Every structure is written in structure tokens, then in C-alpha cells.
């Protein structure tokens, strides 16, 4: 059994999802390799090694939009080495490469997986449907390799013993469809990263207006947390998409998730239901968010949040 994990470089490091998938891959039988796309370097390779990669296939696309060339090179590597399982994350490049590879190899892609297991040469993939209330296990019957796209935070990234992987440099072919990246835009945000934060305070339509998000900013700052949002308020233009939690936004798994004026639609729940402790503030006692919350406050966010802020300030 041989598992390969797609690992794109983000700010000089393997993506968080790559380290999560490598941790999972090393728990499966057999050997593990990473397909590393980016400038690379000893630190990045060491991180891949510590998380389970025994071998790294390194591709450096420079300023070229990577997917076309990477998928072409990856198809050749697959033909030469015959891995059994390829794991990709949900990031744009991951999905772009997985789709192109699927077409090149004529293999299906199983997407949105929350778990994967192997039994001999058979790969099984777990998906959650109906807002995470039902788990579906799919056994891959197609010829290897199985191509699986995994949700963020499906696994917890944990480094094992330090290990230096074998690094194989892979030249990328020239592709007719290649495009050049002309500008990169780094999103500037204050406070902790939403996906990495220990505490997330999220707001929904119940806040009433964009300016009321300043209440959440205050609360999050006092708690050392990050601010998230529902799609309803992102669509309304109150906050940027980068703050959206849920099916078509980010998946978060903080120790504490505070849902303020959020109804608890299943598309929101799939992005936060695995949080440690969920606290909901909603004026409607029947709101579905209370069905997943550990602590529920039935009340008006405009009264409850300022009171919380004052209480936290008073504690110093
Ligand atoms: P509402 O459902 O309108 O809920 C507002 C809540 O605020 C209500 O429960 C109300 O009782 C409460 N409230 C009102 N006033 C107050 C007050 N003063 N004090 C306290 N409580 C108050 N949604 C996401 O969040 N993330 C996604 O990624 C996402 N992806 C989607 C993908 C698809 C394909 C589709 C179809 C939908 C998706 N949605 C997503 C949208 C989702 O279905 C809901 O519409 C959305 O989550 C609702 O947002 P909300 O809870 O802010 O608003």
C-alpha cells in the first residue's frame, strides 16, 4: 500500500491540510510520499518528513499557474510508481490538480471526505451528508490509484519523530495551457487566523447590521479569538468571504465556538460542529443552533454581548 499526499507550499511551509493528511497517511499501512509544489527547502522537507513523508517528489512551478504542468508530471509519476491512494486537500490548486489528474488517468475523484481507511488494497472513504447527521462509507472499486479530496480539519496534524525524507526533484513539462501568475495578494488580517484560532466568535444575520460586528471584534479580542460569520452576512456584504464558516466557507475546530445571532442552518453547522464547546446566543429558543450547542443563551445579542464584554473587562 502506498499513499501520496498533495502538499502545496503556503508562505514557505507545507499547507496545514497537507500536514493533516500526512499524519493520517502514516497511520495507514504502507509507505507515504508527498507531492510538494513550491520553491521548497530543507525546513519544508523536514516538516513533511516529521509528519510522515518518507519520500518527497518536489515540483517547482515558479510563477506559472501550477495545475496543468503538475497534473501532467504527476500522471507520469503515477504510471512509473503505481501508488494506491492519492490524497488532496480542498484548496484551489489541490482541486485543480485532482480534477486534471482524474481526466488524465480516467479515475473517479471522491471529494469532501472526512475519513479514509484501507484494507489490503481496498480504499474506503467516509463522507458526511445532511449537515453531518449521516455518514456514508464508499468503497473504491475503480483501478488504483484512488483519488480522494479531503475536507480541512478532517484529521489532526501531529508531527512524529524527526525524519529526513528522500527528495526527488521532478521537472515540469511545458504545457500549452500554462498561465502566469502576475500578482499575489496577501490577505491582511488582525488577530489570530480563523482556522487556527482556539476561540472563534461568529456572527449571523441576528446582529442586524454590518457595524454591529464591532461587538464581536471586542469580544474576540478580549478572548484572544478570531471572528467568523455565516454566509448570509457575507452575501449581504457585511464582512468579507474570508470570514465565512461552513460548507462553502472555512471549516473550524476551535476549543470554543460562540455563535451569535446564527440560526444553525446545516450548511453552517458542517463548518463548526466539531468544535470543542459550542455556545449559542439567539433570541429564538427554537433555533436549530441550540440543538448542537453545549451552552445556550436565549436572548438578544445586543444585550448579551455587551454584558459579556463588560464582564470580561471587569475581570481584567
Ligand atoms: P438566519 O438563518 O436568518 O438566522 C438569523 C438568526 O438570528 C435567527 O435564528 C434569529 O432568531 C436570530 N436573531 C435575530 N435577531 C436576533 C437578536 N437580536 N439576538 C439574537 N438572535 C437574533 N451558510 C453558512 O453560514 N456557511 C456556508 O458555508 C453556507 N454554505 C451554503 C451553501 C449552499 C449550497 C446553500 C444553499 C446555503 C449555504 N449557506 C451557508 C446558507 C445557509 O443555508 C443559511 O442561509 C445561513 O447559514 C443563515 O445564516 P444566519 O444564521 O446568519 O441567518
The predicted pLDDT at position 316 comes to 75
Q: Which residues line ligand 1 (CB under 6 A)?
A: 204-206, 230-233, 244-249, 261-263, 265, 267-268, 271, 281-284, 287, 300-302
Ligand 1, atom 45: nearest CA belongs to which residue? 232
Q: Of 12, 71, 83, nearest to 46 (Cα)?
A: 12
Q: How many helices (H) and strands (E) does the chain have?
A: 8, 15
113 has pLDDT over 80: yes
d(CA 39, CA 123): 32
Quote the CA–CA distance of 256 and 41 in Å, as a whole number.
Answer: 35
pLDDT per residue as tens digits for the range 244-293: 999 889 999 999 999 999 999 999 999 999 999 999 999 999 999 999 99
Evaluate the CA torsion angle 126, 4, 70, 187 in order and state its sign. positive
DSSP 123: E
Q: How far apart are CA 172 and CA 37, in angstroms?
A: 11
| The overall pTM is greater than 0.75 | yes
Separation of CA 98 from chain center: 16
Decide if pLDDT at 131 tops 80.
no
Q: Is the pLDDT of residue 8 over 70?
A: yes
Angle at 284 between CA 279 and CA 286, to 5 degrees: 85
How many whole angstroms separate alpha carbon 103 and alpha carbon 273? 34
**Distance from C-alpha of 242 to C-alpha of 240, rounded to nearest angstrom:** 5
CA separation for the pair 85, 138 (Å, rounded): 14
pLDDT at residue number 130: 80
Candidate from 261, 298, 307 with most ligand 1 atoms within 8 A of CB, to mutate: 261
Quick one: DSSP state of residue 180?
B
Condensed to tens digits (0 to 9), the pLDDT of residues 70-89 reads: 999 999 999 999 999 999 99
Q: Tens of pLDDT along 15-64?
A: 999 999 999 999 998 999 999 999 999 999 999 999 999 999 999 998 88
Each residue of 230-242: pLDDT tens digit?
A: 999 999 999 999 9
pLDDT tens digits, one per residue of 173-207: 987 766 788 887 776 667 788 988 999 999 999 99
Quickly list DSSP for 137-177.
EEE--SSSPEEEEE-TTSS-----S----EEEE-PPPP-TT
Neighbours of 75 (CB within 10 A): 15
Q: Taking 90 as the threshold, does the pLDDT of residue 299 lie above it? A: yes
pLDDT at residue number 178: 66
* Angle in degrees, 0-180, between the axes of helices 213-223 and 301-315, rounded to the nearest 10: 30
Distance 286 CA to ligand 1 centre (A): 14
Amino acid at each position: 500500500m502506498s499513499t501520496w499526499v498533495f502538499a502545496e507550499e503556503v508562505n514557505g511551509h507545507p499547507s496545514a491540510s497537507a500536514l493533516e493528511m500526512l499524519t493520517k497517511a502514516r497511520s495507514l499501512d504502507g509507505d507515504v510520499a508527498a507531492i510538494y509544489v513550491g520553491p521548497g527547502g530543507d525546513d519544508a522537507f523536514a516538516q513533511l518528513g516529521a509528519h510522515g513523508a518518507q519520500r518527497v517528489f518536489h515540483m517547482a512551478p515558479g510563477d506559472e499557474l501550477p495545475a496543468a504542468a503538475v497534473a501532467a508530471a504527476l500522471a507520469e509519476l503515477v504510471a512509473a510508481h503505481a501508488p494506491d491512494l492519492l490524497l488532496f486537500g480542498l484548496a484551489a490548486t489541490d482541486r485543480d490538480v485532482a480534477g486534471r489528474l482524474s481526466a488524465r488517468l480516467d479515475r473517479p475523484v471522491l471529494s469532501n471526505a472526512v475519513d479514509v481507511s484501507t484494507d489490503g488494497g481496498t480504499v474506503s472513504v467516509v463522507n458526511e451528508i445532511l449537515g453531518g447527521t449521516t455518514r456514508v462509507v464508499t468503497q473504491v472499486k475503480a483501478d488504483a490509484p484512488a483519488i480522494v479530496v479531503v475536507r480541512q480539519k478532517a484529521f489532526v496534524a501531529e508531527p512524529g519523530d524527526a525524519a529526513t525524507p528522500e527528495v526527488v526533484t521532478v521537472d515540469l513539462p511545458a504545457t500549452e495551457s500554462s498561465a502566469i501568475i502576475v500578482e499575489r495578494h496577501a490577505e491582511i488580517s488582525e488577530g489570530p487566523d480563523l482556522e487556527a484560532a482556539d476561540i472563534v466568535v461568529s456572527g449571523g444575520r441576528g446582529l442586524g447590521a454590518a457595524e454591529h460586528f464591532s461587538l464581536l471584534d471586542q469580544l474576540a479580542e478580549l478572548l484572544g479569538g478570531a471572528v467568523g460569520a455565516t454566509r448570509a452576512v457575507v452575501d449581504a456584504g457585511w464582512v468579507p468571504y474570508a470570514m465565512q464558516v461552513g460548507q462553502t466557507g472555512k471549516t473550524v475546530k476551535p476549543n470554543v465556538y460562540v455563535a451569535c445571532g446564527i440560526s444553525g442552518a446545516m450548511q453552517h453547522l458542517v463548518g463548526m460542529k466539531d468544535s470543542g464547546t459550542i455556545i449559542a446566543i439567539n433570541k429564538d429558543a427554537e433555533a436549530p443552533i441550540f440543538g448542537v450547542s453545549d451552552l445556550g443563551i436565549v436572548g438578544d445579542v445586543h444585550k448579551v454581548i455587551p454584558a459579556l464584554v463588560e464582564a470580561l473587562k471587569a475581570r481584567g
